[in-house]
Amino acid sequence: ESPHWSILGDPTEGALKVACLKGGLDLAGQEALLPRIREIPFDSRRKRMSTVHGGAEELVIYAKGAPREILGLCGSQLVEGREEPLGDGQVAVIMDANDRFARNGLRVIAIAGGSRTISAAQGIAPSQYTPETVEKDLVFLGLVAMMDPPRPEVFEAVAKCRRAGIRILMITGDYGLTAESIARRIGIIGDRHVRIVSGAELNAMDDESLKEVLSEDVLFARTSPEQKLRITAALQEMGHVVAMTGDGVNDVPALKRANIGIAMGIAGTDVARETADMILTDDNFASIVNAIEEGRAVYANIKKFVTLIFTSNTPEAVPFIVHALSQGSIPLALNVMEVLCIDLGTDIVPSLALGMEPPEVGVMDRPPRNLNEHLITKALLARAFLWLGPIQALAAMAAFFFLYWKNGYAGQFFGLPSSGPLYESATAMTLAAVVTTQIGNVLTQRSELKSILRIGLFGNRLIWIGIAFALLFVASIIYIPFFQRLFATGAIPPENWLLLFALTPLLLIVDEVRKGLVRRRFI
């Protein structure tokens, strides 16, 4: 047997049961003596639950819930085993004790009891015991304070949200002071003054007043699921993107209305999980923040992937443009099969590896992107087609002409052979130049702004696998006879690879210059 307590089910019920057992109460004996015959479940409007125990003639009622609501049901209190009147002075003392517990972050519930002489002979079946029937003229028994400490990882998760420009709004059914203490402890509100709005105060507000409150530091306490829906709608009308958590059936409207409905995987009901857009399998707030971080990384990686592909489109298109503008006087530096080789071969694996890039350091230190921002932006297109692409095309065309100049056509651009072994080797040279310059491109695409010197060359080893694949693939096309015939390529003299690999850092260097200029401008 384990020496540790283990609770299955509702944590509050478990904590109460453990407290009884530790206090020496014979729970099994009490349950046998006073079997439960009716339960009136917790309701967010009543903020309490009740149980009915006993036989046909004598019924014992117990109620537990929010202290103020429970005290409203009581006309007396139990003091050292004696029943005494419960006046306003005693209620104030009890609420002061409640507030002291709450300021220390403890969750406080009140317990009351009573008895009734309701028999089956009077025609009242157990199913007819209602709150109006049993929740009145009770005796206040005491307060129970429970510690529900936040998980250790929540502190860092909240700090990440603050750095990332994500506002956390606490909407809870707990007492206001308890909620404030917990919110301060985990860093949601820090040391700032915060306005605590109760559910009753929220009901008295119109929509415009609610929006004014939401523009301040505010915490909502003793709220109902319906009020969560109203808060969600108000935030959306203010232009915010809202992620809402919930676990019960009553939370379904708010989960459905939110931009992202998040249901608890463990404590959540089936209906809540079916309605939600995302399910927290571990019921851990930190998992939401981790999902945001991963989402930002995926979005950034897609942009890197797209920029890499778009860049190589320019050197693929330029040979056809030059050939057309020269009316065929300049041979086509890249044939159609070689273009397919780039798009469907050498670019694929490095691009996939780039898509596996881990989140950049500081990805959660940036504000959220504009909701209306497109994936393909003007800046992305300019970087690919007006900066990196033209430079890569220039390098590829230079490699093409270099092979001609080295073989007796020095200084010539027009009237070069457009068929035969020399031409096939020249187009292979263009192809190889695109591939080697893409190596530098894939390395610089690992970060839009950070220098490769800061992020390192080997943070993503999959990229090097992709680079190795691209080089082996292009070498096979250039040197294996079967592929030479298929792609109309010719062998490149081995010494020419010195020039090709000299072109490798070209895009890396020019983009480092751009990154430096952008950092000086915006940082």
Q: CA 416 from chain center: how many Å?
A: 58
Tell me, what's the pLDDT at 49?
A: 94
Mean pLDDT of 433-457: 93
Q: Is residue 396 part of a domain?
A: yes
> How confident is the model over 258-301, as pLDDT tens digits?
999 999 998 888 999 999 999 999 989 999 999 999 999 999 99
Same domain, 314 and 180: no
Tell me, what's the pLDDT at 378?
A: 94
Tell me, what's the pLDDT at 61?
A: 92
Same domain, 111 and 220: no
CATH of the domain at 453: 1.20.1110.10
Q: Is residue 253 part of a domain?
A: yes
Q: Is residue 2 part of a domain?
A: no
Q: Is residue 23 part of a domain?
A: no
Rounded CA separation 456/141 (Å): 65
Q: Is residue 26 part of a domain?
A: no
Same domain, 429 and 481: yes
Mean pLDDT of 347-365: 92
Which of left, alpha, beta for 327 (phi over 0: left; psi -120 to 50: alpha)?
left
Same domain, 358 and 422: yes
> How confident is the model over 301-345, as pLDDT tens digits?
999 999 999 999 999 999 999 999 999 999 999 999 999 999 999
Count of structural domains within the chain: 3
Query: How far, in Å, are 157, 333, 352, 462 from residue 221 at the CA level?
Result: 22, 71, 47, 49
Is the predicted pLDDT of residue 54 greater than 90, yes or no?
Answer: no
Mean pLDDT of 114-137: 72
CATH of the domain at 136: 3.40.1110.10
Buried/exposed 96-126: b ≥16 CB within 10 Å, e otherwise: eebbebbeebbbbbbbbbbebebeeeeeeee
Same domain, 222 and 298: no
Mean pLDDT of 346-360: 93
End of a domain among 79, 112, 147? 147
Q: Is residue 8 part of a domain?
A: no
Query: pTM for the full model?
Result: 0.79
Q: Is residue 435 part of a domain?
A: yes
Is the predicted pLDDT of residue 120 greater than 50, yes or no?
Answer: no
> Do residues 469 and 349 lie in contact, with contact meaning Cβ atoms separated by under 8 Å?
yes
Same domain, 339 and 259: no
pLDDT confidence bin for 31, thresholds 50/70/90: confident
Same domain, 484 and 346: yes
More confident residue, 124 or 186: 186
Query: How far, in Å, are 234, 355, 388, 452 from residue 515 at the CA level?
Result: 40, 21, 12, 10
What three-state secondary structure class fits 238? coil
Same domain, 317 and 440: yes
End of a domain among 273, 288, 303? 288
Mean pLDDT of 354-375: 90
Q: Is residue 12 part of a domain?
A: no
Q: Which of 177, 220, 213 lies closest to 199, judged by CA?
A: 220
CATH of the domain at 239: 3.40.50.1000
End of a domain among 288, 319, 351? 288
In 66-137 the beta strands, taken as DSSP E runs, fall at 74-79, 82-85, 106-116
Rounded CA separation 53/51 (Å): 7
Query: How far, in Å, are 336, 408, 412, 427, 452 from residue 398 at the CA level?
Result: 19, 16, 12, 11, 26
Q: Which of 18, 26, 115, 25 lies closest to 62, judged by CA?
A: 115
State which H helix or E strand residue 470 sits in. Answer: helix 461-479
pLDDT confidence bin for 1, thresholds 50/70/90: low
Same domain, 345 and 322: yes
Rounded CA separation 262/228 (Å): 13
Helix 207-214 and helix 225-237, axial crossing angle in degrees, nearest 10: 80
Task: Identify the domain containing residue 463 by its residue range.
Answer: 290-522
Same domain, 279 and 295: no
Same domain, 169 and 95: no
Rounded CA separation 23/234 (Å): 47
Mean pLDDT of 154-176: 92
Same domain, 261 and 325: no
Q: Which of 79, 88, 141 lies closest to 112, judged by CA?
A: 141
